[in-house]
């Protein structure tokens, strides 16, 4: 099996801190200290579950002794303060552990961050500081999310979901997550929907509210709403520059889910500069993963592999699952785009099955369509029995995404499921694939992104060409090529051209007429529309009425002989000198 984490093990830019840690944990003495540190963490967790104060105090005292032997004097002092239930000392210890945990969360090992933050929450709880306790718990949950620790995230969700100091939207989100991780969708979906709605209207000012509401919206397939929430959070944090890299990373992920890869890449570039300048090495790793995904869609193999290598270097050193998954996924998508489906299957299968060190309990759903399509393309090279087993496995995995799309009402995900079922049908029974593609295309044209529409048109065109229906195939392949060009997916546009040549048409016919015939005002309107703005936004920019923009746009379409905004992008691109 191909290694899903290519490249040498690296520590990224963490440098001195990682080297010092490595030196301090080598040899027998280092192993002994690590064993004492683990015992301290286990005893501290056991103390929280103790039924009486006496047992709790004894376990905390033992944990403090192990922490001292592990060479962690500050943690030992904090645990001793807990055992003695001294509020002032507990509050001071909580602040110390919170600071240490945040440093690790931003630039160190995320598991260490989670342990320190849980300890900070316990210290604040004993000091009767519920607001500070909630802050520590939220950061601890973020550490579990970044580490891909589903059990840890579920535990944090239960605690925060019932926390009295948490805003309503935050409680709703974590109650929804806790239910989702139990597969209790009847409870999870309403709670996540409430978090999404309350996050948009929240006036509590808590920084976690819009971020968690954005995640809830993404889980429900409400991409436009998620984009709005992430944008609001970024605008609110503009004055507090420390939060900007993470929020730019969040907004970039929203655009990635929306298949707006050009904008995702631009946001990730901004975020990466801010993260490096601020020493946020773990955030930088995630942004490298996002940039690798954008480069994979463009077909820029060197950029994709470079960003993936940087993301994986820091991810391996610090236990970061989200950057590792994004980087590995990007390499799989690059193999898929470059028509190496078997290599893509080898990279993507562990991500969806959780068979390797790279896994994430939530992001795996996003990887499933890429894996299924890779399987559908790869099985042509397999013998009959192996082909059936591979298709059966792909259908079973796809069922997970289909169930979630059904319970949430996520129509774009439902369109993706139909696309995947169609490509599997084209492999198993080509003559029966036509109605499957028809249903998939009908839905994706209503609710899918340009990239999703182009992928379905390409797959349909390929299936029709193999059924020896070249005229029907060319119509879909030409549409796919124009859509891929419009959304900057160069390698996919070239693949559509190759399929068109195989279908008997080397160049697309009926190219749009030259844009030189447009008036200056028509050209201004056309360029703004081609950049993705709505007619009302163009009217505001040009200080004209909405009806005037409608009138100019109709004349532009007539002058260029086109019928859609996608064709307008192609016409103006061809017009550029």
Predicted local distance difference test score (pLDDT) of residue 1: 34
Q: What is the CA radius of gyration of the chain?
A: 26
**What's the mean pLDDT in 275-300?**
95
pLDDT at 549 over 70: yes
CB contact at 8 A, 328 and 351: yes
- Residue 7 in this model has a pLDDT that exceeds 70: no
Cα–Cα distance between 253 and 286 in angstroms, integer?
10
Q: Report the pLDDT value the prediction gives residue 61, as an integer from 0 to 100.
A: 83
Quick check: 127 pLDDT over 70? yes
Is pLDDT above 50 for 519?
Answer: yes
pLDDT at 505 over 60: yes
Reported as a pLDDT band with limits 50, 70 and 90, residue 439 is very high
From CA 138, how far away is CA 98, in angstroms rounded?
A: 11
Report the C-alpha gap between 95 and 108 in whole angstroms: 18
The pLDDT confidence band at residue 13, using thresholds 50, 70 and 90, is very low
Structure tokens at 226: 């998620």
User: 204 in helix, strand or coil?
Assistant: coil
pLDDT at 88 (0 to 100): 66
Quick check: 421 pLDDT over 60?
yes
CA 472 to chain centre: 36
When pLDDT is averaged across residues 111-138 and rounded to a whole number, the result is 91
**How far apart, in whole angstroms, are the C-alpha atoms of residue 476 and residue 35?**
61
Q: According to the model, what pLDDT value does residue 517 have?
A: 67
Q: Tell me what pLDDT residue 203 has.
A: 57
Counted residue by residue, the chain has a size of 577
pLDDT at 515: 65
pLDDT per residue as tens digits for the range 382-416: 766 777 888 888 999 999 999 999 999 899 999 99
In sequence order, what DSSP letters do the residues of 471-513 get, joined into one string? HHHHHHHHHHHHHHHHTT-HHHHHHHHHHHHHTT-SS-SSPPP
Does the structure show a pLDDT above 90 at 466?
no
Measured distance CA(347)–CA(330) in Å, rounded: 10
Report the pLDDT value the prediction gives residue 102, as an integer from 0 to 100: 94
Burial pattern 526-560, b for ≥16 Cβ within 10 A else e, equals bbbbbeebebeebbeeeeeeeebbeebbebbbebb
Q: What is the pLDDT of residue 511?
A: 52
Work out the percent of the chain whose per-residue pLDDT is above 70: 88
Instruction: Place 134 in a pLDDT band, splitting at 50, 70 and 90.
Output: very high
Q: Which of 525, 577, 535 is nearest to 556 (CA)?
A: 525
Please give the model's pTM, rounded to 2 decimal places.
Answer: 0.74
Position 527 confidence tier, pLDDT thresholds 50, 70, 90: confident
Q: Convert the pLDDT of each residue in 347-395 to its tens digit.
A: 999 999 877 678 888 899 999 999 999 999 888 777 667 778 888 889 9
**Predicted local distance difference test score (pLDDT) of residue 444:** 92
Q: Mean pLDDT for the chain?
A: 84
Placement of tokens 């980087």 in the chain: 327
pLDDT of residue 339: 85
Q: In the predicted model, is pLDDT for residue 231 greater than 60? A: yes
pLDDT of 53 over the 90 cut: no
In this prediction, residue 5 has a pLDDT band, given cuts at 50, 70 and 90, of very low
Axis crossing angle, helix 27-48 with helix 53-69, rounded to the nearest 10: 160
Distance CA 80, CA 58 (A): 10
pLDDT tens column, 469-481: 888 888 899 999 9
Better-predicted residue by pLDDT, 104 or 90: 104
The stretch 498-523 carries a mean pLDDT of 68
pLDDT of 223 > 70? The answer is yes
Q: What is the pLDDT of residue 27?
A: 57
Which of 335, 404, 331, 391 lies closest to 365, judged by CA?
404
| pLDDT of 28 higher than 80 | no
Helix (H, G, I), strand (E, B) or coil at 359: coil
Residue 407 has which token pair? 């319970």
More confident residue, 85 or 252: 252
pLDDT at 414: 94
Q: For residue 160, is pLDDT > 90?
A: yes
pLDDT bin (cut points 50, 70, 90) of residue 498 is confident
pLDDT at 545: 82
Q: Distance between CA atoms of 135 and 143, rounded to whole angstroms?
A: 13
Average pLDDT over residues 95-103: 93
pLDDT of residue 552: 83
């Amino acid at each position: 099996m191909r290694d899903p984490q290519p490249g040498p093990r690296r520590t990224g830019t963490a440098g001195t801190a990682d080297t010092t840690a490595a030196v301090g944990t080598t040899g027998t003495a280092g192993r002994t200290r690590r064993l004492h540190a683990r015992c301290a963490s286990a005893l501290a967790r056991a103390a929280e579950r103790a039924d009486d104060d006496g047992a709790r105090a004894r376990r905390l005292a033992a944990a403090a002794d192990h922490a001292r032997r592990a060479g962690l004097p500050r943690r030992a002092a904090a645990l001793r303060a807990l055992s003695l239930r001294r509020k002032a000392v507990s509050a001071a210890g909580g602040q110390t552990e919170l600071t240490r945990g945040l440093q690790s969360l931003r630039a160190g090992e995320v598991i260490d961050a989670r342990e320190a933050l849980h300890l900070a929450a316990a210290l604040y709880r004993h000091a009767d500081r519920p607001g500070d306790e909630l802050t520590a718990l939220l950061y601890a949950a973020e550490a579990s999310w970044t580490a891909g620790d589903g059990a840890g995230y579920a535990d944090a969700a239960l605690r925060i979901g019932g926390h009295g100091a948490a805003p309503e939207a935050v409680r709703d989100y974590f109650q929804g997550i806790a239910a989702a991780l139990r597969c209790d969708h009847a409870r999870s979906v309403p709670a996540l929907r409430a978090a999404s709605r309350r996050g948009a209207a929240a006036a509590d000012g808590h920084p976690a509210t819009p971020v968690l509401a954005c995640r809830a919206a993404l889980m429900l397939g409400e991409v436009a709403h998620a984009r709005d929430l992430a944008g609001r959070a970024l605008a609110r944090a503009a004055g507090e520059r420390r939060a900007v890299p993470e929020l730019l990373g969040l907004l970039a992920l929203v655009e990635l889910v929306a298949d707006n890869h050009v904008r995702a890449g631009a946001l990730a570039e901004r975020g990466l500069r801010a993260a490096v300048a601020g020493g946020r090495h773990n955030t930088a790793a995630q942004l490298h993963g996002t940039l690798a995904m954008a480069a994979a869609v463009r077909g820029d193999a060197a950029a994709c592999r470079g960003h993936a290598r940087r993301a994986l270097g820091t991810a391996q050193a610090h236990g970061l699952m989200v950057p590792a998954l994004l980087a590995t996924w990007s390499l799989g998508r690059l193999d898929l785009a470059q028509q190496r489906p078997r290599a893509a299957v080898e990279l993507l299968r562990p991500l969806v099955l959780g068979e390797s060190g790279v896994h994430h309990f939530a992001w795996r759903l996003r990887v499933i369509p890429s894996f299924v399509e890779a399987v559908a393309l790869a099985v042509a090279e397999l013998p009959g029995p192996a082909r059936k087993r591979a298709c059966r496995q792909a259908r079973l995995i796809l069922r997970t995404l289909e169930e979630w799309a059904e319970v949430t009402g996520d129509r774009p995900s439902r369109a993706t499921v139909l696309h995947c079922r169609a490509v599997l049908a084209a492999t198993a029974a080509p003559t029966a694939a036509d109605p499957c593609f028809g249903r998939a295309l009908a839905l994706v044209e209503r609710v899918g992104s340009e990239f999703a529409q182009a992928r379905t048109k390409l797959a349909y065109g390929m299936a029709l060409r193999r059924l020896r229906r070249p005229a029907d195939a060319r119509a879909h392949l030409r549409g796919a090529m124009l859509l891929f060009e419009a959304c900057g997916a160069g390698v996919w546009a070239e693949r559509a051209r190759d399929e068109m040549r195989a279908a008997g048409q080397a160049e697309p016919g009926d190219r749009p007429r030259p844009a030189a015939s447009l008036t200056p005002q028509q050209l201004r309107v056309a360029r703004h529309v081609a950049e993705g703005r709505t007619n009302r936004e163009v009217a505001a920019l040009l200080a004209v009425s909405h009806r005037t923009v409608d009138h100019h746009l109709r004349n532009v379409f007539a002058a260029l002989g086109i019928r859609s905004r996608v064709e307008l992008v192609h016409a103006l691109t061809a017009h550029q000198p």
